[in-house]
Amino acid sequence: MSVSGPTVESNMRDLIAASRPAPNLHRSPLELRALKSGILTALTWIGALLASVPLFSVIYELVVAGGSRLNWETLTALPPSAFETGGGFGNAIVGTLVMVGIATLISVPLGILAAVQLAILDPDSKLTHTVRFLAKVLTGFPSILAGVFVYAVMVVTMKTYSALAGGVALAVLMLPTVVLAAEQAMSMVPKKMKDAAYGIGCTRTQVILKVVLPTGAPGILTGVMLAVAGAAGNSAPLLFTALFSNYYMSSLTEPTASLAILIFNFSGMPYDNQIELAWAASLVLVLIVLVFNVLARLVGRQKY
Amino acid sequence: MNAHSEMKVAAEVAAPASLGIVMNCQLEKVFYGDFLAVRNSVVPIEKNKITGFIGPSGCGKSTVLRSLNRMNDLIPIFRFEGKVTYHGQDIYDKKVDPVVLRRYIGMVFQQPNPFAMSIYDNVAFGLRLNGFKGDMDERVEKALHGAAIWNEVKDKLKNSGLSLSGGQQQRLCIARAIATEPDVLLMDEPCSALDPIATRRVEELMIELKEKYTIALVTHNMQQAMRVADTTAFFGVDISQGSRTGYLVEMGPTKKIFEEPEQQLTREYVRGEFS
Amino acid sequence: MDRGFRGIAWASAAFILVLVVYIIFEIGGKALPAMSQYGLGFLTSTTWNVQTEQFGILPQIWGTLYSSLLALILGGVFGIAIAIFLTQDFLHSGLAAVFRTIIEMLAAIPSVVFGLWGIYVLIPLLRPVADWLHGSLGFVPFFGTSLSGPGLAPAALVLAIMILPTVASISVDSLRQIPYKVKEAAYGMGTTRWEAILKVMLPTASSGILAALVLGFGRALGETMALAMLIGNANQISLSLFAPANTLAALLASSFPEAGPVEVRALMYAALALLAITLIVNAVGLAVMKFATRKFEAER
């Protein structure tokens, strides 16, 4: 078959085709193509609603099953043992807050400093590219392996489970998020601002401390909040590092309770009391996570 | 005579005995939200001619062009008051499906926008969409010939459409648009993103294409209108009501618009006194 | 002072590199004794018996891959559908923001809470459906056993719910990157809305969506708590959706706290296997994503 351009025959065919009868432009929803489109749209709506169901179901359970048990005793008392009634998880709340606090204290300065290196000081070096790639890979790091790692490094050497180890494990998981968010925030600071500061005669450190960090603060804080929210809910690493305790913590180097581990332990028990407490603890945990998520969004909205 | 009958007379003057008017745009008001973008314009489009739309920026020429195939429907706040008749039917009638309409009225855009697929698949896209069962290879080749790009791509039909140069991409988009042999081809500043040589090739192409297709062309380049358009519609901007509203000032054979325009505003524009 | 600060910054960045290397080194190192003792047979053996000191992780590898694959299919389809729903003009921008928030909240719920919900809400809901399926279609291997409690199905379902936000958000970004003129070209050719989506938008965003799926898969592989609570911790291989199973992460979570030294060594080997799988999948996902963004930048 070879068509080497328009021929007389094809021209004639075209002229005849050009004088077509007036086309029918009317919409026919039953026509196959329109029908397919309509069905797919309906399916998509159904899919979207289906996807929302788990969230609402979880929220419902939290509020109903957890909320009914939420009172002062629950928030302050110690976990009950097998056949006891009453009790609470005050020590778990404290444990969670302390360990998340430790994790934040470790990962935030470290993460911001590293981000400074990546975003400002040497954005194109091999080290920077490698570290950036590794940070991204680390965001998908299984949380349980962070626990295994810190177990091998700290628990074994210290010969005890500890809140400190738990905090370090959470820090390992928070670090990539903090670094990437901080780097992103810092690289968005306009060059003009930095140039102005250099022009006045600031050293690189001063430019960073006085211009880049304050300007990028909202973005950095958002990242930190999100990382904290993620860490608070993370239970797997604590299994091997902080284990659990039925008492309030008295030092950083002993097994420590946490909300996440409490939920995990209680969920498998056949006692109603413990199950109720598990739901209440879930509610508290989700509220903590929610608070940080909302804070992250509020902070992020303030552009400089 | 009131404005309405003036417009009707203007339409008849602009399109006397000819092969016929394929589309007649009788625009009363066009809104983007609360903003009145264009008012009172009657623009007949004649068969197998190139109708050029010219005018300063903000005069609404692109808006009017896009109203002809209901592309403006993609913008939620757009509202069209008036009629656009195509083969006797008002395309803005509620029963009309814009999807069907666009199979008869094709469009080429300012920025070349080939799909992220092979050159062959780009051209075959419209044919496949409409369930074409015949010899696809033949139609694709014919369209690429029609867009004067066959010789440059015949050996690399499987390459991505995005691998071509800007001018070639635009000709590919033209091939894609004519593959389904639409009635009317709307071209919205098709050369503005191209270099002068590519521009010239596309202009030559337009003159070839008008033998088979009816073309409406928006251009900000007056010389281009002088070179290719048979009929020219000049749009102006009305700032008398406080905002910038476009409207049709004058329409007629290109030679007349550029050499002996009737309206003062037209005269000033074609003499380059404003742009 | 300036140099000191810059030195600390450099050290922090280098620390991350050192950390990753250290992690691999440490887990690998702790796994070495088990590796030399059990060799590659560890990966193919199916017994996990502390008394006889026979360890093998094939059932767990199977469980990890099978559950993640099921989760990917379900979570992937829904995630992409939601991404389309959010980006292709189906909703007013206000409603779209609300829906986006719903998806983000879904991502914020901790794994343990999903596990708890799975046990007390999902499994009871699932049981009648599973029993019906097993009763009438039991000859199909997927429905071969009955759902006594925890099992693959509830675990995979919860896993799908958990990776859905990941897939959705990366796909949304990918679809948003498509220049407006491509959408114009599609509609200009006379496509219906879904023809434009399926024939133009999705193919154009295909590399980004692929990256979303790979990264979602990676997340599923590493997920621990919800799985440990829902999958049944049975070291067996079965095609049945309702049979209990086990994953590498769940194995670690449930066995570690009470493991003696011998078992711990074997668990370290399992940890290394999990590390290898997740690192590779995540690295591949990132590479695909980089390729996807580069494709658009080259075109401008």
Buried b (16+ CB within 10 A) or exposed e, A134-152: bbbbbbbbbbbbbbbbbbb
CA torsion, points B125, B126, B131, B133, in degrees to nearest 10? Answer: -80
Q: Which residues of B touch A1 (CB under 8 A)?
A: 135, 137-138
pLDDT of residue A4: 47
The one-letter amino acid code at A175 reads L
SS3 content of chain A, % helix, strand, coil (to 5): 75, 0, 25
Residue A74 has pLDDT above 90, yes or no: no
Angstrom distance (rounded) from CA C20 to CA C143: 42
With an 8 Å Cβ cutoff, are A58 and C113 in contact? yes
Domain that holds residue C37: 2-299
The alpha helices in C201-259, defined as continuous H runs, are 202-204, 206-222, 225-230, 248-255
pLDDT of residue A287: 92
Asked if B45 and B187 touch (Cβ cutoff 8 Å), the reply is no
Subunits with 3+ Cβ pairs within 8 Å of C are A, B
Q: What is the pLDDT of residues C14-35, one digit of tens each?
A: 898 899 899 888 888 888 888 8
CA end-to-end span of chain A, whole Å? 66
Q: Half-sphere exposure of C237 toward its Cβ, with a 13 Å CA cutoff? A: 14
CB atoms within 10 A of CB B265: 18
At residue B186 the predicted structure's pLDDT band, cuts being 50, 70 and 90, is very high
Q: What is the pLDDT of residues A265-284, one digit of tens each?
A: 888 888 888 888 999 999 99
Question: Is A124 buried (19+), middle (13-18) or exposed (0-12) by CB count in 10 A?
Answer: exposed
CA torsion, points B246, B249, B251, B257, in degrees to nearest 10? Answer: -120
Q: How far is A69 from chain C (nearest CA, A)?
A: 16
List chain A domain ranges: 92-255
Asked if B219 and B54 touch (Cβ cutoff 8 Å), the reply is yes
Q: Return the percentage of chain A with pLDDT > 90, whole number.
A: 23
Contacts of A262 (CB under 8 A, 6+ apart): A79, A89, A92, A244, A277, A278, A281
The one-letter amino acid code at C230 reads L
Its CATH class, for the domain covering B3-270, is alpha beta
Angstrom distance (rounded) from CA A194 to CA C121: 55
User: In the CATH scheme, what is the code of domain A92-255?
Assistant: 1.10.3720.10
CA distances from C205 to B122, C97, C164, C208, C236 (A): 16, 22, 18, 6, 39
Q: What is the pLDDT of residues C143-202, one digit of tens each?
A: 777 777 788 889 999 999 999 999 999 999 999 989 999 999 999 998 988 999 999 999
pLDDT of residue A23: 63
Best of A27, A28, A32 to mutate (most B CBs within 10 Å, chain B): A27
Q: How far is C214 from chain A (nearest CA, A)?
A: 11
Cβ of residue A33 closer than 8 Å to a chain B Cβ: yes
CA torsion sign, A41 to A46 to A50 to A55? positive
Residue A30 has pLDDT above 60, yes or no: no
SS3 content of chain B, % helix, strand, coil (to 5): 40, 25, 35
Which tokens go with A296? 């992250």
DSSP A184: H
pLDDT of residue A212: 83
The one-letter amino acid code at C34 reads A
Q: How many residues does chain A have?
A: 304
Give backbone dihedrals phi and psi of C69, rounded to 5 degrees, phi first: -65, -45
User: Residues 74..113 of A with a Cβ closer than 8 Å to C: which?
Assistant: 110-111, 113
At residue A219 the predicted structure's pLDDT band, cuts being 50, 70 and 90, is confident
Asked if A110 and A298 touch (Cβ cutoff 8 Å), the reply is no
Asked if B23 and B184 touch (Cβ cutoff 8 Å), the reply is yes
| Mean pLDDT over each residue of chain B, to the nearest integer | 88
At residue B148 the predicted structure's pLDDT band, cuts being 50, 70 and 90, is confident
Contacts of B54 (CB under 8 A, 6+ apart): B61, B219, B220, B222, B225, B232, B233, B234, B235, B269
Give the residue-averaged pLDDT of A82-100.
86
CA torsion, points C219, C221, C225, C226, in degrees to nearest 10? Answer: 80
DSSP C256: G
Angstrom distance (rounded) from CA B233 to CA B227: 14
Higher pLDDT residue, C41 or A174? A174
At residue A62 the predicted structure's pLDDT band, cuts being 50, 70 and 90, is very high
Contacts of C87 (CB under 8 A, 6+ apart): C172, C175, C176
Residue of A210, C190, A247 lying closest to B104 (CA atoms): C190
The alpha helices in chain B, defined as continuous H runs, are 3-14, 61-67, 98-104, 119-129, 136-146, 150-153, 166-178, 196-209, 222-228, 254-259, 264-270
Angstrom distance (rounded) from CA A263 to CA C113: 8
Asked if B225 and B54 touch (Cβ cutoff 8 Å), the reply is yes
Ranking A145-159, B94-108, C41-55 by mean pLDDT, the lowest is C41-55
- A–C interface: beta-carbon pairs under 8 A: 232
Residue of A237, A204, A235, A221 lying closest to A298 (CA atoms): A221
Q: What is the pLDDT of residues B217-272, one digit of tens each?
A: 999 999 999 999 999 999 999 888 888 899 999 999 999 999 988 988 899 898 88
pLDDT of residue A273: 86
Residue ranges of chain C with per-residue pLDDT less than 70 = 294-300
Cβ of residue B96 closer than 8 Å to a chain A Cβ: yes
Which tokens go with B238? 């009305």
Q: How far is B141 from chain C (nearest CA, A)?
A: 19
pLDDT of residue A26: 61
Long-range interactions of C18-23: CB distance < 8 A, separation 24+: C19/A172, C19/A175, C20/A134, C20/A137, C20/A138, C22/A153, C23/A145, C23/A149, C23/A172, C23/C275
- Model confidence, pTM: 0.84
Residue of A282, A301, A229 lying closest to A74 (CA atoms): A282
pLDDT of residue A8: 53
Give the residue-averaged pLDDT of A185-199.
84
Best of C16, C32, C280 to mutate (most A CBs within 10 Å, chain A): C16
Q: Which residue has the tokens 């419209």?
A: B126
The one-letter amino acid code at C45 reads S
Asked if A228 and A175 touch (Cβ cutoff 8 Å), the reply is no
Q: What is the CATH number of the domain that holds C61?
A: 1.10.3720.10
Q: Which residues of B touch C188 (CB under 8 A)?
A: 69, 71, 102, 106-107, 109, 177
Cα B47 to chain centroid distance, Å, stands at 13
List chain B domain ranges: 3-270
| Mean pLDDT over each residue of chain A, to the nearest integer | 83
Which tokens go with B94? 């509620």
CB atoms within 10 A of CB C164: 26
Cβ of residue A44 closer than 8 Å to a chain C Cβ: yes
Q: How far is B145 from chain A (nearest CA, A)?
A: 6
CA torsion sign, C57 to C62 to C67 to C73? positive
Give chain C's domain count. 1
Contacts of A108 (CB under 8 A, 6+ apart): A174, A178, A224
At residue B17 the predicted structure's pLDDT band, cuts being 50, 70 and 90, is very low
Contacts of A43 (CB under 8 A, 6+ apart): C81
Q: Half-sphere exposure of C296 toward its Cβ, with a 13 Å CA cutoff? A: 19
Q: Name which of A5, A18, A33 is nearest B145 (Cβ-Cβ).
A: A5
* Strand ranges of the sheet holding B231-238, from the earlier edge strand across to the other edge: B89-90, B78-86, B21-32, B35-46, B245-253, B231-238, B50-54, B214-218, B184-188, B105-108
Q: Name which of B88, B96, B141 is nearest A26 (Cβ-Cβ).
A: B96
Q: How many residues does chain C have?
A: 300
Angle formed at CA C107 by CA C106 and CA C111, multiple of 5 degrees: 95
ipTM reported for the complex, 2 dp: 0.85
pLDDT of residue A3: 44
Q: B44 has which bridge partners?
A: B24
Q: Which residues of A touch C14 (CB under 8 A)?
A: 127, 131
